[in-house]
Amino acid sequence: MPAPTTTPAADLLIALAALHPHNAEIAAANAAMDFALSRALDEQQIGYLADVVSAAETLVAGQILVTIRVENTYATGQGFVHQLAVAAPAPADAADPDEWASEHLLQFTGDGPKYAQTEGLYEVEVIGCDDRPELVGAAASAQAERHG
């Protein structure tokens, strides 16, 4: 039977699964003061780390790091403000920044199941993006009514 095709996330998990026991071997060699073994294991670790980096790069390909400010205001009068660093798909060059924010950043709003049945206003604004500084200030909002 041929080897299964793996997804980028699975490749990352496979690489991490190989790295963790290897780190334990290095720690054991160091504890035993077996420095020749420790050095050999350190050299092998470079290959494991290269696999992890490669898998991670594939997993986040086409995404950019964005810092956002999220403000959630509920009909109960409660409100919460969060600052998050998130990965989001890079917008096309001609994309409207606010439409892009609506499509890709509103998913990071909300405060969990406790507020799922509460009417709320959800707002998100880009406050930092080194890869695409023109996105700073892009904003989106949505209002949700109580269901049930």
Q: Where are the domains of the chain?
A: 8-59, 63-144
C-alpha torsion sign, points 131, 132, 135, 140: negative
Taking the complete model, does pTM exceed 0.85, yes or no?
Answer: no
pLDDT tens by residue, 64-97: 999 999 999 999 999 999 999 999 999 998 899 9
Q: Looking up tokens 């206003």, which residue turns up? A: 121
pLDDT tens by residue, 105-135: 999 998 888 888 889 999 999 999 999 999 9
Q: Looking up tokens 């406050």, which residue turns up? A: 127
pLDDT category of residue 48 using cuts at 50, 70 and 90: confident
Residue 104: its H or E element: helix 97-104
Show the tokens assigned to 131: 């890869």
Angle between helices 8-31 and 35-59 (to 10 degrees): 160
